[in-house]
Amino acid sequence: MELENIKNYWNNRAEGYSLSINEQLQNDEKEEYLSMLQKYASNKTSLDCLDIGCGPGFLSILLAQWGHKVTAVDYSENMLEYASKNFFEAKVDVSLLQMDAQNLRFEDASFDYNCVARSGMESRES
């Protein structure tokens, strides 16, 4: 799939995906993700976090609520629009950028913690 097709795919699914993450923020699934994140991004130390393919912002919200500095990127304009609304409703401060996940414009080792589209996690050892 070329990049524009991928963007269109997620643009068309942004509203429904945003509704589902809002439900997840209110149910037991939130606690499951918090438990998983705890292994990599302790809530005791403020980290610079990058959420790649953030979608409507589920993981970004959880990380920001813990007090981490979060930068969230997605290529889909509609996902970014819903993420912005969700960040406002959750009262969290997250930097939001439109960017291709395969062409990130950050220096190496710019972040302490990276999460990728809720499917993988990576932590830089200090």
The neighbouring-strand residues paired with 55 are none
Q: What structural domains does the chain harbor?
A: 3-123 (3.40.50.150)
C-alpha dihedral sign at 89, 92, 97, 100: negative
61-114 pLDDT per residue, tens = 999 998 999 999 999 999 999 999 999 999 999 999 999 988 999 999 999 988
**Mean pLDDT across the chain:** 86
6-59 pLDDT per residue, tens = 898 889 999 998 988 888 888 888 888 888 877 777 666 789 999 999 999 999
pLDDT of amino acid 22: 81
pLDDT of amino acid 121: 41
